[in-house]
Structure formats: structure tokens, C-alpha cells
């Protein structure tokens, strides 16, 4: 998508710049930034160009998290977005550093967004909270620590609310902040948390499929707490169906513009676990 900008580095390092851009250029669903831009488009299309700074920052955080998630000390995955993971192509130390660079660059990009400083500060706060110790990092820590230790369903949901759902919820909320709709921001955040759990159940089900279908290493979850390992495939699909139906109903309650813009993205995701 055209909000992705190549990162340029003036350095004699032989592959740093290439590695920095590799996973960004490899593609991906761009699901989170699309949600953010959809909210902005629904209420103020004139702000789309400015909002692309925020969309890029969200994708930078997401891509950094994938690079680190794939590391040998975490999932030890060899394939991501249809490409070899960075620690496979280069080495583990450089993969860590590239993830660090994308993480910090996300906030540099947000600081340069053409918007009022109050808006930028709020966006930085929302993104940092979702990505940091009260969100994605906490979820990853729980995930790693409790490998081979069974969690109950509520604990599993807490894990994935942090690891996955808060970044999706933050993306929607950031869109509402940009168009100055604070009440909608909170409503979209709650919608996003539920959407994030659905997304995670679907990803757990995708782990049962072949790598050629998913573009990433599969079968890495067998020692982890997932909705499939806890509930079984059949009940995990039933839980996904329940969430998808609830989300469709909630989407229908949004105003027509928002329903249209979000629906164009979400309609193909609600029941992807059934394909």
C-alpha cells in the first residue's frame, strides 16, 4: 500500500538497509493500518494523507513484532510473509536490531505527522500502550512463560487480548482520534478487542494448515496455549462463529459510512476460519 515508505540509511554496512526494508516490502495483509484508514475515510477523507503517517506507524510496530516473534528464542520460525525470516537470511542479532529499529521508527513517524500536537501525543500514547508492557509485550511474555503449562479459557483470552487484540483495537481507536470522535474511539476500541480475539482464534486454526497456504511457518503452536489446543478444532470454530456473528451485528449498528468502510475490509475476515 502507498503509505509504506522505504527506509533509507546512509551507511557502509553491507546489508542493514536491505534488511530494514525486507519484511515491510514482503507484503502482508496490512489489516491494522487498513482499519485505521477506514475510520478516517468514513468521516473525513481529506485527512487520509495525514493519517497515513499513523497507518505506517502501526504497520512498523506490527512488522517489528513479527520479526521478534519469529526469533529462535521465541517461535523459531523460518518463514514469514512468504519469505525467509530475517534471522535465517542474516543472523539473530541483526534480526533483533532490525525489530528494534522499526519499533522506534514508528514513534518518529508519528511525531512527524501533520496534525496538532495534542492529537499526536494521544496517538503516541494509544500506540505505546497497546504495543508495550501493558499490551503486546505482556501478552508475548505470558505466551512464552506458559509454554507446556496449560491455561484456562479466561487466562488464554487475557493472553491474546494483550498479545493480539489491543493492537487491532488501538488501530481503530487511532482512526477515531484523528477525526476527533472521542466517544466513537472508545466504542471502536471495545469492538477491536473482540475482533482481535476472533482474529487470534482464526490464526490458531490457520496453524493447522500447510505453510504454502499461509506464507508463514505453521505447526509452531503445539506446545503453546491456543484456542485449538484448549478447545479442540471443532469448538474453536464454534467460538469463532459466535464472535463473528456478534461482530457483524455490532458493525450493522454503526452509522452507514463507517459500516461501509469497515465492512469492505471485515466481510472477508469474519468467517475466514470456515474456508
Provide the pLDDT confidence category of residue 216 given band limits of 50, 70 and 90.
low
Q: b/e string for 45-67 if b means 16 or more Cβ within 10 A?
A: eebeeebbbbbbbbbbbbbbbbb
Query: pLDDT value at position 255?
Result: 96
Give residue 166's domain range.
Answer: 21-274
pLDDT in tens, 229-270: 999 999 999 999 999 999 999 999 999 999 999 999 999 999
Q: Is residue 252 part of a domain?
A: yes
pLDDT digits (tens, 9 = 90+) for 68-121: 999 999 999 999 988 999 999 999 999 999 999 999 999 999 999 999 999 999
How far apart CA 204 and CA 163 sit, in angstroms, is: 13
In a domain, 12, yes or no: no
The tens digit of pLDDT for each residue in 219-232 reads 566 678 999 999 99
Average pLDDT, rounded, for the chain? 94
pLDDT over 70 at 215, yes or no: no
Question: In angstroms, rounded to a whole number, what is the distance separating the alpha carbons of residues 266 and 197?
Answer: 14
Q: Tell me if 201 sits within 8 A of 273, measured CB to CB.
A: yes
Q: Supply the pLDDT for residue 212.
A: 58
Task: With beta carbons less than 8 A apart as the criterion, state whether 62 and 72 touch.
Answer: no
- Total domains, the chain: 1
CATH number at residue 244: 1.10.600.10
In a domain, 6, yes or no: no
Q: Is residue 90 part of a domain?
A: yes
pLDDT tens for 155-191 read 999 999 999 999 999 999 999 999 999 999 999 999 9
CA atoms within 13 A of residue 197's CA, in its CB half-sphere:
24
Q: How confident is the model at residue 211 (pLDDT cuts 50, 70, 90)?
A: low
Instruction: Give pLDDT, residue 207.
Output: 84
pTM: 0.94
Q: Is residue 10 part of a domain?
A: no
Give the residue among 215, 217, 238 at the shortest CA–CA distance from 228.
238
Q: Is residue 25 part of a domain?
A: yes
Q: Is residue 101 domain-resident?
A: yes
Residue 217 has pLDDT above 90, yes or no: no
237 found inside a domain: yes
Rounded to an integer, what distance in angstroms lies between the CA atom of residue 172 and that of residue 169? 5
The candidate with the shortest Cα–Cα distance to 52, out of 63, 41, 42, 65, is: 41
Is pLDDT of 218 > 70?
A: no
DSSP string for the chain:
-TT----------SSHHHHHHHHHHT----HHHHHHHHHHHHH-GGGHHHHHHHHHHHHHHHHHHHHHHTSTTTT---EETTEE-HHHHS-HHHHHHHHHHHHHHHHHHHHTSSS-HHHHHHHHHHHHHHHSTTTHHHHHHHHHHTTTS---HHHHHHHHIIIIIHHHHHHHHHHHHHTT-HHHHHHHHHHHHHHHHHHHHHHHHHTTS-HHHHSS--STTTTS--HHHHH-HHHHHHHHHHHHHHHHHHHHTS-HHHHHHHHHHHTTTTTGGG-
Closest CA to 56 of 118, 101, 105, 125: 105
Amino acid at each position: 500500500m502507498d503509505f509504506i515508505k522505504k527506509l533509507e540509511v546512509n551507511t557502509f554496512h553491507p546489508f542493514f538497509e536491505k534488511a530494514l526494508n525486507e519484511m515491510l516490502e514482503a507484503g502482508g495483509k496490512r489489516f491494522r493500518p487498513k482499519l485505521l484508514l477506514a475510520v478516517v475515510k468514513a468521516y473525513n477523507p481529506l485527512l487520509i494523507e495525514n493519517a497515513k503517517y499513523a497507518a505506517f506507524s502501526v504497520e512498523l510496530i506490527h512488522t517489528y513484532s513479527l520479526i521478534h516473534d519469529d526469533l529462535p528464542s521465541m517461535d523459531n520460525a523460518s518463514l514469514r510473509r512468504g519469505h525467509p525470516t530475517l534471522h535465517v537470511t542474516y543472523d539473530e542479532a541483526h534480526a533483533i536490531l532490525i525489530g528494534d529499529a522499526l519499533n522506534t521508527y514508528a514513534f518518529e513517524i508519528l511525531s512527524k505527522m501533520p496534525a496538532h500536537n495534542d492529537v499526536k501525543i494521544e496517538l503516541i500514547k494509544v500506540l505505546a500502550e497497546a504495543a508495550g508492557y501493558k499490551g503486546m509485550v505482556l501478552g508475548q511474555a505470558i505466551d512464552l512463560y506458559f509454554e507446556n503449562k496449560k491455561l484456562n479459557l479466561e487466562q488464554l483470552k487475557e493472553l491474546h487480548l494483550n498479545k493480539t487484540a489491543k493492537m487491532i483495537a488501538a488501530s481503530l481507536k487511532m482512526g477515531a482520534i484523528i477525526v476527533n470522535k472521542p466517544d466513537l474511539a472508545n466504542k471502536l476500541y471495545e469492538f477491536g478487542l473482540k475482533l482481535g480475539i476472533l482474529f487470534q482464534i482464526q490464526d490458531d486454526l490457520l496453524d493447522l494448515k500447510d505453510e504454502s497456504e499461509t506464507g508463514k511457518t505453521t505447526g509452531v503452536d503445539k506446545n503453546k496455549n491456543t484456542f485449538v489446543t484448549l478447545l479442540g478444532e471443532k469448538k474453536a470454530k464454534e467460538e469463532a462463529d459466535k464472535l463473528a456473528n456478534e461482530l457483524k451485528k455490532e458493525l450493522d449498528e454503526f452509522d452507514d459510512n463507517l459500516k461501509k468502510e469497515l465492512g469492505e475490509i471485515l466481510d472477508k475476515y469474519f468467517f475466514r476460519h470456515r474456508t
